[in-house]
Amino acid sequence: MLLTPGSELLGCLPPLSADSPWWPETRSILDVVRERYGLEVTILRLLEAESPQPPGGSVTYLAELSEPVPAGFIPVERWEGVLEEHPLRHPWARPGGPAMDLAWAGSILAEQGLRLVGRPEQMRTWNLSSLWRIPVEGQTLWLKVVPQFFAHEGAILERFQGGPLPRLLAHHGGRSLLAEVPGDDRYEASGTELLDMVRLLVESQREWRGRVDELLGLGLPDWRSARLTEAIGDVVERTAGQLDEDDRTTLAAFVDGLPARLEAVGDCGVGDTLVHGDFHPGNFRGDGQMLTLLDWSDSGVGHPLLDQPAFLQVVAPHEVEPVKHHWHRLWAEAVPGSDAPRAARLLAPVAAARQAVIYRLFLDHIEPSEHIYHRSDPVDWLLRTAGLVHESSSS
């Protein structure tokens, strides 16, 4: 669905086929539009989709032409939808929004004496981020823009400079300009590389034990016992209508028992600190010599072992026990006398319920047309929570 640079509605291009099935990925779509029609466009947002959730299927995007309409015929079809304003729409999903983000990045390049050597490429856009690749002389930079509820990422990156995080050139609000990280995404990591990932996380978390007020001052959300208990109770109550009676009963008892459970976690002695929030091998890049931990948007303050279940869930089954043993040994060394294995067992359903809280947060702060990305996530994570509660009570 095309808009002119002046926000005039032109109509919809005929169907196009893209290489990637993932709806936020824009590069292959824009390449096809450029090759077939000679148009430079920027995708603003998803308008509708035929599938109930990603990936794949037929989708319709709203896109903005980067230049005036070329002379001659542009093949467009009618679109029967309605473009409406919405107060929760992110700035980069509005006409002119991406141009403002790029203008900010351009001002940073000028301040730092960096010369643009090619057209910035839009790589991804959806309700949680906008990502651009910016080629400058001698290197490639990345512009990442996130919603206000993720805007603490820039502050975290700035405070951690010199650690195993991306190099930050500048940040403002939800915008961050980052140096490219060498290597590949490490989704398929195994063996000692997994152990190195855990070590890097635990080392960062050790540094912030006893300094949670500093983290909260950077704008990180509070997932310590009292706040987390309240948030989990709220999402269970709001999602109850989508659960059967057995799961509602299990989760109600789980919520009632949360204060005692989390008090027992506290007795294990590890303590609250930094939580990455989306810790898994795919959020690392590596070149065989160095690992860099990406995507700190989901970070918060709470028990560090909240990061463990998501990581263990995606590693190969034969890797789980060695990684878990390594993880717990690191905490035993960091906090002598602590009981990380018991804390991890107690936290397993809590970590799943926290995921439901996070996805509820997304749904509360994005416009309805974007709910399709996350609509089923709160109930899915609460069902997983109920399953873990049953599992722990029967073992």
pLDDT score recorded for residue 82: 83
pLDDT score recorded for residue 158: 95
pLDDT score recorded for residue 125: 98
Q: Is the pLDDT of residue 74 over 80?
A: no
* 135-189 tens-digit pLDDT: 999 999 999 999 999 999 999 999 988 888 999 999 999 999 999 998 999 999 9
Q: What is the mean pLDDT of residues 28-37?
A: 93
Average pLDDT value for the chain: 95
Q: List, in order, residues 6 or more apart from 231 with CB less than 8 Å away.
A: 223, 354, 357
* 204-213 tens-digit pLDDT: 999 999 999 9
* Identical topology for domains 92-179 and 184-394: no
pLDDT score recorded for residue 299: 97
* 97-118 tens-digit pLDDT: 999 999 999 999 999 999 999 9
Q: List, in order, residues 6 or more apart from 327 with CB less than 8 Å away.
A: 198, 202, 305, 308, 340, 344
CB 17 within 8 A of CB 341: no
pLDDT score recorded for residue 393: 74
CA-nearest of 106, 86, 279, 287 to 185 is: 287
244 — pLDDT class (breaks 50, 70, 90)? very high
395 — pLDDT class (breaks 50, 70, 90)? low
Tell me the two tokens of residue 104: 């900010």
* 317-356 tens-digit pLDDT: 999 999 999 999 999 999 999 999 999 999 999 999 999 9
79 — pLDDT class (breaks 50, 70, 90)? confident
Question: What is the C-alpha separation between 364 and 367, in angstroms, rounded?
Answer: 8
Q: What is the mean pLDDT of residues 14-38?
A: 93
Question: What is the C-alpha separation between 218 and 153, in angstroms, rounded?
Answer: 9
Give the right CATH number for 92-179 from 1.10.287.10, 3.30.200.20, 3.40.50.970, 2.40.30.20: 3.30.200.20
Question: What is the C-alpha separation between 48 and 368, in angstroms, rounded?
Answer: 11
Tell the CATH superfamily of the 184-394 domain: Aminoglycoside phosphotransferase (APH), C-terminal lobe (3.90.1200.10)
pTM for this prediction: 0.93
Question: What is the C-alpha separation between 59 and 45, in angstroms, rounded?
Answer: 11
Count the neighbouring beta carbons within 10 Å of the beta carbon of residue 70: 12
Domain locations in the chain?
Answer: 2-83, 92-179, 184-394
pLDDT score recorded for residue 298: 95
